[in-house]
Structure 1
Amino acid sequence: MSNPDLPDHGDSPSSPSSKNEDGNSSGASRHRRRKRNRSGRRSGEAPAGAEASAPGSGNGRPHSAAEAPAPGAPKEGKKPRGRSQPRRQRGDAISQAASRKGRAFDIEGRYSGSSFKEEEDAGREIGIGDFDPSILCEGFRSLALAPEILRAVHGLGFTEPTPIQVEAVPLALEGRDIVGSAQTGTGKTAAFAMPTLHRLMGGAGTRALVLTPTRELAVQVADHFRLLGRHLPLRTAVIYGGVDYEPQFRALEQEVDVIVATPGRLLDHMKRKTADFSNLQILILDEADRMLDMGFAEEIQEILHRLPRKRQTLLFSATIPSTIEELARKALTAPVRIEVAPPATPPEGIFHGVFPISAPNKPRAVRCILEQAEATTVLIFTRTKAGADHLGDLLEGGGIPVARIHSDRTQRQREKALNGFREGVHRVLVATDIVSRGIDVSDISHVINYDAPEYPEDYVHRAGRTARAGRVGYALTLMSPSEIMLVKNVERFIGKALPRVGLPGLQDDIHQRNLGGEPLPLKDQPPVARYDRLRNMPRRSGLSLR
């Protein structure tokens, strides 16, 4: 018998059940359906007393024992080949996995999060157990979060709430709309994840939606929800493009509590009516400025139009340009503005340096930096995808383990590269700006701008990949003569001069002569008059940035 809990995709033109064994529509099948319709039954409806068809029936409809198989159908007792087996059945394992509570699903149907095996072995503990909230600091206790969340906070080793958490959590618990601006690495994700989990306790259905600009960031945000909600009976699904739909259908059918998604794939699910947000209570727009930069403005507007108007909306952005102000006016109601640090300021603890150099000598400069003992984990940004591949080939040719991430890489390649970089398999990651806000690797020692950023605010985001959580790091820029104005735009944007530094081993470069010194923190640099109009300069957007 058919499962009433599963949506009927039989009428969808793109459904596998409306196609023959080769995956194409069959004229004979259409004729049989019309004949059955004339007999008074709906297409795909079984005769009285008939069981559902076995996997692999070409048109995906039930048939009685007396009904002859369609021409070309596999003979009884033989296993169908190719795509004749409905893809929906192949997701049964995904459906079973989705029924377990408290897991974050990635789009391949696996559990997200590196600690899955440990959790599976140890079992999941719902509730507070023998945890005593009084062992936490007063800062966390004063946030009035559920004991189950405080237990997870303690288990993660958090000692004090960050400034953005202190300001945002109480307001979010009150149900207020928020526009938050904070530097990267300041605990912004936990600032909206903790109150969201608290407010979702005791309900059912999909009640929270988080939109992020990139797939990598979506997975990381979902992992935060999973870890902070590990003692709550709540489930999280991750939805993004570049992969198969079927595991996502299975996860969405379970009515998970939290969905973390990128705008394009989420809107596709909404149009297919495979995602139900009728019970939505909380909408979170994470890295909103980046989503607009990547050309998702129309998708976000349509998503907002399809969501319930009565909801709480939290918007977080590293910068607050005029486009974000306009979005906030449309999406939020009487929002509270939170700004814990100037939005154009890189985090403290970063030592900055600019190396004037000829463009052909940039690969040599990278190798010189990598020879330094303190350059243990290095993230290199290029302006183009072709530049990332070219530099990666050069470094690999020199025996340096390199991973690469850009929008032309498949999702599996991107995940493998990022995991290898996190685990130390690859010492160097070469990437475009797609990961300037999309990765959270705590031990990056150096960020190298192989190409100076085209837009000055991107310098802040790139540099913010290092010196996270109070650590020390280096943000180094290789500046060719054609990039001098780009570096000056950065200086006007952050309000500080970036020190010009010499690089040992490149004194034969004409632009390196008579240069010395070392990278320095911004607090030791002279001020530069800010040029605020740069924040409103038109940006190249769309697929080129994804």
Structure 2
Amino acid sequence: MIRKPQQNFVVQPLIKTNAVEYRKYQAEIVEKCLERNTLVILPTGLGKTIIAAIVAAHRLLKYPDSKCIMLAPTKPLVNQHCEIFRAVLNLPSHEINAITGTVRPQSRVNILKSSKVILMTPQTLENDLITSRCDLKPVSLLIFDEAHRAVGNYPYVYIAKEYIKQAEHPLILGLTASPGSEKEKIEEVCRNLYISQIETRTEYSPDVRQYIHPIYMEWKTVKLPSDFLKIKTLLETLLKERLKILKEYGYLESSDIKKVSRKNLLELRAKIQSEIAEYLRPPSSLFSVSLAIAEALKLSHMLELLETQGIAPVAEYLTKMKKEAERPGHQKATETLLNDDKLLEVEKLIQKLMKENYEHPKIKETIKIISRHLQSNEKARIIVFTKFRNTAKKLVEELRQIDGIRPARFVGQASKDVDMGLTQKEQLRILGEFKEGIYNVLVATSVAEEGLDIAECDLVICYDAVPSAIRQIQRRGRTGRKRPGRMVVLIAEKTRDEAYFWSAKRKEKVMKQTIKEISTKLHVTSINTTSKSLDTFIKSREELKVYVDNRELRSQTAKYLAELGVKLIPEQLPIADYIVSDRVAIERKTTEDFLQSII
């Protein structure tokens, strides 16, 4: 199907001449993808976007009046894909366009109508589907980048369902480097995207080995100072006291802090909230348990900040708690904790260390690794990943003091407290200047983990370990794309860093085995078309209209109404969330909000 000419480039009417190097494994994957809905799992750097572009070219050739849409979770990624599609496809550039939430709704409608290939963020497409601004009938290929996100209520799930219902010639292509380690999650992704086959390669597959550049993994351990350990012991004692309460009430089997994760506490909090909602007058024991969970979550967060980030982040979190305690309607857990003698002792120790300019030993280690690497290669590009924005800010401040190091902070667009996010324009500018060498170190949060193609990067430093196989693979994938790369993980001894690091490695191993099992068992997904919609009972969809507040568009309620055939009209409503007639307005509330409003 894909012809290989003598000069070793792909030949296809809608692929530009000498634009795409012919690779046998890509050709084989493309042929499979054209047969049925496919999930492609490839290590980073092996051209998942190129495969998507070639599949798009074939679909547009087969269905000349159709369109192709590719979805990606972040704006920088959408723009990156748009550049690649314009470089590869033999189409006028004005027919290949990127659409994000920053484009006005009416402009989006016009772009969708005039384009052959559209690159979009999923939230934007979901909103346009809910409000009937977008029609998927002419779309012959829908591509989901970072397809592992297609779980729960993520927009990919709703979009795939609507696409299968609306499209005249549907075909789905999912792309990911890491679908996750849990069998149930991978199966959920396949169900939600109507996947009927998986095409996968690993770095050890014979047909891709020649295109793989080695990535040398290493980890550096640092010891926490004795004063850090004193604070750590106090916080662990406080946390264990709360876990004991939960165990005494029968909600935990163990009060060992090593056996109770933050995820366990969040799941338990949801369970207790459901139990409280079942009572008109809940028993006091449930409120005691709820208080213990809230305090445990705060303490767990402080411990994580101390172990992986340092003293300053804990101090900032305590300041944030004090401000929260001054506001009316604050959490009781905040006030209770702030008055605890052990936490007061923690605060005194932190203030003492702050005056002495104590820093987490990871900061010095990071500076040392970067300095040595740049000494050996002045043109190197380095990415430092950290979980928290404050840490990114601190690292940039410290790195700026070192000759030869030109750092930039790269974070998401959302503004948090006093921390302003980066606009899309600022993100693109920083990435461009990093590639050009104006900056040689990028200190980034998770926004830079997914998919960004920065070929020049030859060293990745993980300031904090992550327990997720997906995130570990994504971080590693930012290096070794066009030449050998290196990844260094910093681990604080006897902290959760150690557990996170080995957990991610174990999950990655399990993931590869799970993919093999699911690939052999996967069947074509059957689509249930027997359920009745409101169309069965009403003469015309136009007869049923509901005005919905703009803020409600991402709620499940809005999606369900759209699925039932209701025409949703988004507006900034002065009252209520939905207006269904000139006499009836509906305000959607959580149980907790409702109770607060009537007490």
> Is the CA contact (8 Å cut-off) linking 1:172 and 1:195 kept in structure 2?
yes
CA offset digits 1:33-87 (Å, max 9, x no partner): xxxxxxxxxxxxxxxxxxxxxxxxxxxxxxxxxxxxxxxxxxxxxxxxxxxxxxx
TM-score between the two structures when normalised by the length of structure 1 = 0.59
CA distance in 2, matches of 1:403, 1:455: 26
Q: By how many angstroms is 1:405 displaced?
A: 1.6
Q: For 2:175, which of 296, 302, 316 is the aligned residue?
A: 316
User: 1:337 is matched with which residue?
Assistant: 198
Tell me: CA distance 1:289–1:208, structure 2 relative to 1, closer, same or farther (3 Å): same
Q: What secondary structure, in the 3-state scheme, does the structure 2 residue paired with 1:445 have?
A: strand
Q: By how many angstroms is 1:231 displaced?
A: 5.2
> Is the CA contact (8 Å cut-off) linking 1:350 and 1:466 kept in structure 2?
yes
> Is the CA contact (8 Å cut-off) linking 2:150 and 2:189 kept in structure 1?
no
User: 2:30 is matched with which residue?
Assistant: 169
Q: By how many angstroms is 1:221 displaced?
A: 1.4
Q: For 2:161, which of 305, 309, 326 is the aligned residue?
A: 305
Q: What secondary structure, in the 3-state scheme, does the structure 2 residue paired with 1:276 have?
A: coil
> Is the CA contact (8 Å cut-off) linking 1:449 and 1:476 kept in structure 2?
yes
User: 1:100 is matched with which residue?
Assistant: none
Q: What pairs with 1:49-448 in structure 2 (closer than 5 Å)?
A: 134-137=5-8, 145-149=11-15, 151=17, 154-155=18-19, 158=21, 160-161=22-23, 163=25, 165-173=26-34, 175-201=35-61, 207-230=67-90, 235-241=95-101, 243-245=102-104, 248-249=107-108, 251-252=110-111, 254-290=113-149, 292=151, 297-307=153-163, 308=166, 310-321=169-180, 322-332=184-194, 335-341=196-202, 348-358=213-223, 360-372=360-372, 373-374=375-376, 376-398=380-402, 400-407=405-412, 408-448=421-461
CA distance in 1, matches of 2:143, 2:400: 40
Q: What secondary structure, in the 3-state scheme, does the structure 2 residue paired with 1:390 have?
A: helix
> Is the CA contact (8 Å cut-off) linking 2:69 and 2:118 kept in structure 1?
yes
Q: What secondary structure, in the 3-state scheme, does the structure 2 residue paired with 1:183 have?
A: coil
Q: What secondary structure, in the 3-state scheme, does the structure 2 residue paired with 1:274 have?
A: coil
Where in structure 1 are there 5+ consecutive unaligned residues? 1-131, 496-528, 534-542
CA distance in 1, matches of 2:488, 2:103: 39
CA offset digits 1:343-397 (Å, max 9, x no partner): 9999651111111014612121122122222451001100112221221222224
> Is the CA contact (8 Å cut-off) linking 1:179 and 1:314 kept in structure 2?
yes
Q: What secondary structure, in the 3-state scheme, does the structure 1 residue paired with 2:46 have?
A: coil
CA offset digits 1:226-254 (Å, max 9, x no partner): 1111456881221223x242684375254
Q: By how many angstroms is 1:479 displaced?
A: 0.8
CA offset digits 1:120-143 (Å, max 9, x no partner): xxxxxxxxxxxx974333xx56xx
CA offset digits 1:395-415 (Å, max 9, x no partner): 224353222221232212211
Q: What secondary structure, in the 3-state scheme, does the structure 2 residue paired with 1:467 have?
A: coil
Instruction: Give the number of equivalent residue pairs.
Output: 355
Tell me: CA distance 1:233–1:199, structure 2 relative to 1, closer, same or farther (3 Å): farther
CA distance in 2, matches of 1:228, 1:474: 30
The aligned amino acid for 1:406 is V
CA distance in 1, matches of 2:445, 2:149: 14
RMSD: 3.4
CA distance in 2, matches of 1:217, 1:397: 31
The aligned amino acid for 1:444 is C
Q: By how many angstroms is 1:201 displaced?
A: 3.0
The aligned amino acid for 2:410 is I
CA distance in 2, matches of 1:530, 1:249: 38
User: 1:519 is matched with which residue?
Assistant: none
Q: By how many angstroms is 1:277 displaced?
A: 2.1
Q: What secondary structure, in the 3-state scheme, does the structure 1 residue paired with 2:133 have?
A: coil
Where in structure 2 are there 5+ consecutive unaligned residues? 224-309, 311-359, 413-420, 515-553, 555-599
Q: By how many angstroms is 1:318 displaced?
A: 1.8
Tell me: CA distance 1:262–1:530, structure 2 relative to 1, closer, same or farther (3 Å): closer
Q: What secondary structure, in the 3-state scheme, does the structure 1 residue paired with 2:190 have?
A: helix
The aligned amino acid for 2:143 is I
Out of 207-216 and 271-280, give the one that drifted further.
Answer: 271-280
Tell me: CA distance 1:290–1:427, structure 2 relative to 1, closer, same or farther (3 Å): farther
Q: What secondary structure, in the 3-state scheme, does the structure 1 residue paired with 2:73 have?
A: coil
User: 1:85 is matched with which residue?
Assistant: none
> Is the CA contact (8 Å cut-off) linking 1:206 and 1:259 kept in structure 2?
no
User: 1:452 is matched with which residue?
Assistant: 465
CA distance in 2, matches of 1:369, 1:280: 49
> Is the CA contact (8 Å cut-off) linking 1:205 and 1:255 kept in structure 2?
no
CA distance in 1, matches of 2:213, 2:176: 19
> Is the CA contact (8 Å cut-off) linking 2:60 and 2:66 kept in structure 1?
no
Q: By how many angstroms is 1:258 displaced?
A: 1.3
Q: By how many angstroms is 1:327 displaced?
A: 2.9
User: 2:484 is matched with which residue?
Assistant: 472
Q: What secondary structure, in the 3-state scheme, does the structure 2 residue paired with 1:227 have?
A: helix
CA distance in 2, matches of 1:178, 1:291: 14
Q: By how many angstroms is 1:282 displaced?
A: 0.9
The aligned amino acid for 2:188 is E
> Is the CA contact (8 Å cut-off) linking 2:79 and 2:98 kept in structure 1?
yes
Q: What secondary structure, in the 3-state scheme, does the structure 1 residue paired with 2:460 have?
A: strand
Tell me: CA distance 1:311–1:190, structure 2 relative to 1, closer, same or farther (3 Å): same
Out of 396-405 and 231-240, give the one that drifted further.
Answer: 231-240
Q: What secondary structure, in the 3-state scheme, does the structure 2 residue paired with 1:278 have?
A: coil
TM-score between the two structures when normalised by the length of structure 2 = 0.54
Q: For 1:488, which of 502, 510, 520 is the aligned residue?
A: 502
CA offset digits 1:415-439 (Å, max 9, x no partner): 1111111111100111112211231
User: 1:89 is matched with which residue?
Assistant: none
Out of 382-391 and 417-426, give the one that drifted further.
Answer: 382-391
CA distance in 1, matches of 2:450, 2:406: 23
Tell me: CA distance 1:231–1:249, structure 2 relative to 1, closer, same or farther (3 Å): closer
Write 1 or 2 for the structure with the bigger share of helix: 2
CA distance in 2, matches of 1:268, 1:418: 28
CA distance in 2, matches of 1:251, 1:418: 29
CA distance in 2, matches of 1:430, 1:447: 10
Q: What secondary structure, in the 3-state scheme, does the structure 1 residue paired with 2:160 have?
A: helix
Tell me: CA distance 1:384–1:248, structure 2 relative to 1, closer, same or farther (3 Å): farther
Tell me: CA distance 1:250–1:211, structure 2 relative to 1, closer, same or farther (3 Å): closer
The aligned amino acid for 2:187 is E
Tell me: CA distance 1:198–1:530, structure 2 relative to 1, closer, same or farther (3 Å): closer
